[in-house]
């Protein structure tokens, strides 16, 4: 095994890997089972992925639920750009598509890659409120890195990752990035 510079991946991408492809696959399988257990099956579920990497994660969870339950759970994609509380100070984000199946009376599971301040999820809850009135909204994230600024928590977490505010968590997914991995960089290991 070649020696690595601390904090630098073998391909010189900054940061250290905290989840590799197999870890991500296992975490998503567990989350899918947790969702089914909590919901006692797949009935009334709608998965809504947040752009950008929450969308492929929602599809992967739907694939696993279909494999276990034989049910195709509807999957939507939600862009929260126009609902962000930093829109005035950071107006340069490019909006993505929003395409959410009917959510009235359904159990909506929001899916995102990283949960940090909670402001993205706050925006997502506002966006959902304009689309309908779900029976319940739950949250699944691949990584919870802490540092919440709002009273928001995840129901399903792939990995709790203690982090410094100065660090950054980078999620790469094959659909968008050609590989699956989660890295943390910055702080003392920049």
Ligand X SMILES: O=P(O)(O)OC[C@H]1O[C@H](OP(=O)(O)OP(=O)(O)O)[C@H](O)[C@@H]1O
Ligand Y SMILES: O=c1cc[nH]c(=O)[nH]1
> Of 65, 76, 109, 113, which lies in the binding site for ligand X, with binding defined by CB under 6 A?
113
What does the DSSP assignment read for 70-118?
Answer: S----EEEE--GGG-TTTTT-TTPPP---B----TTSEEEEEEEEESSS
Tell me which of ligand X, ligand Y, none is bound by residue 96, counting a contact when its beta carbon lies within the kind-specific cut-off of 5 to 8 angstroms: none
Note whether 154 and 124 are within 8 A (CB). Answer: no
> Of 39, 52, 81, 98, which lies in the binding site for ligand X, with binding defined by CB under 6 A?
52
Q: Is residue 21 exposed (0-12), middle (13-18) or buried (19+ Cβ within 10 Å)? A: middle
Tell me which of ligand X, ligand Y, none is bound by residue 79, counting a contact when its beta carbon lies within the kind-specific cut-off of 5 to 8 angstroms: none
> Of 74, 117, 131, 187, which lies in the binding site for ligand X, with binding defined by CB under 6 A?
117
115 in contact with ligand X (CB under 6 A): yes
Note whether 18 and 184 are within 8 A (CB). Answer: yes
Residue 174, SS3 per DSSP:
helix
Site residues (CB under 6 A) for ligand Y, limited to 116-135: 116
Tell me which of ligand X, ligand Y, none is bound by residue 32, counting a contact when its beta carbon lies within the kind-specific cut-off of 5 to 8 angstroms: none
- The DSSP H or E segment spanning 147 is none
For ligand X, the closer CB: 65 or 143: 143
83 in contact with ligand X (CB under 6 A): no
Query: Which of 23-31, 50-58, 64-72, 98-106 is the region at the interface with ligand X (rule: CB under 6 A)?
Result: 50-58
- The DSSP H or E segment spanning 45 is strand 45-50
Tokens of 177: 């990035």
Tell me which of ligand Y, ligand X, none is bound by residue 168, counting a contact when its beta carbon lies within the kind-specific cut-off of 5 to 8 angstroms: ligand Y
187 in contact with ligand X (CB under 6 A): no
Q: How far from 116 is each of 6, 54, 150, 153, 160, CA to CA, in Å?
A: 24, 14, 10, 10, 11
Radius of gyration of the chain (CA): 17
> Of 157, 169, 173, 182, which lies in the binding site for ligand Y, with binding defined by CB under 6 A?
169
> Of 168, 172, 173, 183, which lies in the binding site for ligand Y, with binding defined by CB under 6 A?
168
Binding site residues, ligand X, CB under 6 A: 50, 52-53, 112-120
Binding site residues, ligand Y, CB under 6 A: 114, 116, 145, 168-169
């Amino acid at each position: 095994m070649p020696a690595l510079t601390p904090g630098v991946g073998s391909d010189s991408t900054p940061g250290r890997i905290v989840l590799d492809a197999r870890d991500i696959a296992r975490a998503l399988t567990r989350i899918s089972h947790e969702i089914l257990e909590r919901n006692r099956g797949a009935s009334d579920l709608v998965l809504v992925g947040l752009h950008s990497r929450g969308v492929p994660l929602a599809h992967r969870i739907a694939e696993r639920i279909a494999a276990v339950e034989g049910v195709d759970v509807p999957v939507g994609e939600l862009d929260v750009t126009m609902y962000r509380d930093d829109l005035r100070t950071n107006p340069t984000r490019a909006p993505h598509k929003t395409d959410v199946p009917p959510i009235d009376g359904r159990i909506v599971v929001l899916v995102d890659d990283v949960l940090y301040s909670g402001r993205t999820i706050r925006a997502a809850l506002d966006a959902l409120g304009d689309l309908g009135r779900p029976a319940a909204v739950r949250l699944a994230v691949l990584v919870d890195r802490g540092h919440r600024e709002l009273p928001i928590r995840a129901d399903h977490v792939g990995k709790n990752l203690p982090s410094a505010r100065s660090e950054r968590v980078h999620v790469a997914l094959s659909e968008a990035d050609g590989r699956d991995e989660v890295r943390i960089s910055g702080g003392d290991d920049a």
